[in-house]
């Protein structure tokens, strides 16, 4: 199965760094990048109505313009078609309130954004090793 990752990240710099980190660790699956929660939900709705395949993994920032990451997570996990897609929160927030709320909304994991490229590589490697190589992901 071809894996597609949806990255919901409003910072082009953070998105570029994470994409480069995945490349550096040998994870070359396509990464679709959107900058807002509305764009993420529109993309998911588009895959519902077209012959496109849903992403197999979603990496979701919390601090987004418009709908927050928590709002987007809530909509993903309330949708019968999308709720099985593993959704990992990747946020600069390390507050326990944000972590707890994310898990209450059924996030599959919560990762605080790294502060250096080397740490981004480590996160990318761990995501790749577990979510893309070890775990069985939902299909079409």
pLDDT mean values, one per 10 residues, the chain (140 residues): 86 97 93 96 82 84 96 97 95 97 98 96 96 83
Predicted local distance difference test score (pLDDT) of residue 138:
80
The answer to whether 90 touches 98, Cβ cutoff 8 Å, is no
The contacts of residue 17 (CB under 8 Å, 6+ apart) are: 117, 120
**Alpha helices in the chain, H assignment, sequence order:** 12-24, 37-49, 69-78, 96-104, 117-127
The answer to whether 79 touches 108, Cβ cutoff 8 Å, is no
The contacts of residue 119 (CB under 8 Å, 6+ apart) are: none
Q: What is the DSSP letter of 8?
A: E
Predicted local distance difference test score (pLDDT) of residue 49:
66
Q: Would strands 109-112 and 31-34 be described as parallel, antiparallel, or unpaired?
A: unpaired
Residue the block writes with tokens 């082009």: 12
Residue the block writes with tokens 């909509």: 75
């Amino acid at each position: 199965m071809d894996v597609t990752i949806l990255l919901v990240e409003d910072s082009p710099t953070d998105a570029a760094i994470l994409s480069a980190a995945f490349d550096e660790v040998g994870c070359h699956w396509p990464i679709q990048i959107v900058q807002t929660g509305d764009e993420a939900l529109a993309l998911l709705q588009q895959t519902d109505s077209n012959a496109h395949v849903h992403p197999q993994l979603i990496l979701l920032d919390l601090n987004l313009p418009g709908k927050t990451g928590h709002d987007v997570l809530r909509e993903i996990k309330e949708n019968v078609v999308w709720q099985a897609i593993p959704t990992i929160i990747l946020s600069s927030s390390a507050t326990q309130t944000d972590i707890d709320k994310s898990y209450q909304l059924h996030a599959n994991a919560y990762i605080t954004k790294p502060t250096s490229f080397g740490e981004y590589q480590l996160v990318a490697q761990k995501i790749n090793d577990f979510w893309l190589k070890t775990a069985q992901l939902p299909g079409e």
